[in-house]
Amino acid sequence: MSFQMSIFALPGHKVRLVEHFVHRGSEWDQAAAKRHLTVGGIYTVRQTRVFSSHSVVEFEEVPGVSFNTIYFEFLTPQSEEEDQQHPYLRRYYGHPSEEDGMI
């Protein structure tokens, strides 16, 4: 069973680049994924950033390069409770705190 990566993935979660997802996104997104990642490769989430029309993920294995989150699936799904811990989710849908760096 496949679990699409949550845009609110927390640091440390493991994801896999899925071959049938790589055709999605912009040409720039596709080129970055092909240049830096391997289909089937497993990557460790460093951070995700959520914007109004898209979200990106950065990995421990490829620091400084962001990728479209639509290319990945979780190896183990993240719970809704874990989603609630993400600073962007807390900022836009919950109660931001100073520890999030969002206020």
Whole-angstrom distance, CA of residue 72 vs CA of residue 2: 10
Domain boundaries, the chain: 3-95
Q: What are the pLDDT digits (tens) for 68-89?
A: 999 999 888 888 888 788 877 7
Q: Given pLDDT bands bounded at 50, 70 and 90, which one contains residue 103?
A: very low
Whole-angstrom distance, CA of residue 83 vs CA of residue 13: 12
Q: Mean pLDDT over residues 43-58, rounded?
A: 91
Architecture of domain 3-95: Roll (2.30)
Cα–Cα distances in angstroms (integers) from residue 23 to residues 15, 66, 78, in the given order: 17, 17, 24
